[in-house]
């Protein structure tokens, strides 16, 4: 069966500090991978998605970037965090073809102070 991990589970960072969130998927190959942010009172917002190693598409211009160094690893980064970057970050995966459902990881709660 497939499993998706996110690390860390919670993070408190000062404004202006860098960020690196990691997502890994087990039990599948060539997944599509996604980063979402969930802010209080708002729906999940797609930030980035990737259909393969090194292939990143950005949905929302912002202070964040994403990378996919390996087939089942997806990383969300920032060079300098803003207060507005606080939120619940969710990684999701989908099989490359055949089904449309996206499956979510446990999330990372980021608080920028």
Q: What is the CA radius of gyration of the chain?
A: 13
Site string for another protein, 80-109 (x = CB under 8 A): ----------x-x-x----xxxxxxxxx-x
Query: In terms of DSSP bridges, do strands 108-112 and 10-13 run parallel, antiparallel, or are they unpaired?
Result: parallel
62 binds another protein per the rule CB under 8 A: no
Cβ 25 vs Cβ 72: under 8 Å = yes
CB of 69 to another protein, least distance (A): 20
Smallest distance from another protein to CB 77, Å? 20
Question: Is there binding between residue 46 and another protein (CB under 8 A)?
Answer: yes
| Site map (CB under 8 A) of another protein, residues 15-44, x = contact | -----------------x-x------xxxx
Q: Given the rule CB under 8 A, which residues bind another protein?
A: 6, 32, 34, 41-46, 49, 51, 59, 90, 92, 94, 99-107, 109
């Amino acid at each position: 069966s497939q499993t998706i991990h996110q690390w860390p589970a919670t993070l408190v960072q000062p404004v202006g500090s860098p960020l690196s969130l990691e997502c890994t998927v087990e039990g599948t190959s060539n997944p599509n991978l996604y980063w979402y942010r969930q802010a209080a009172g708002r729906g999940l917002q797609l930030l980035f998605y990737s259909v393969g190693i090194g292939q990143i598409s950005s949905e929302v211009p912002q202070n964040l970037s994403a990378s996919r160094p390996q087939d089942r690893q997806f990383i969300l980064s920032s060079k300098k965090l803003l207060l507005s970057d606080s939120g619940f970050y969710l990684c999701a995966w989908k099989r490359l073809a055949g089904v449309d459902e996206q499956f979510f990881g446990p999330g990372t709660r980021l608080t920028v102070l």
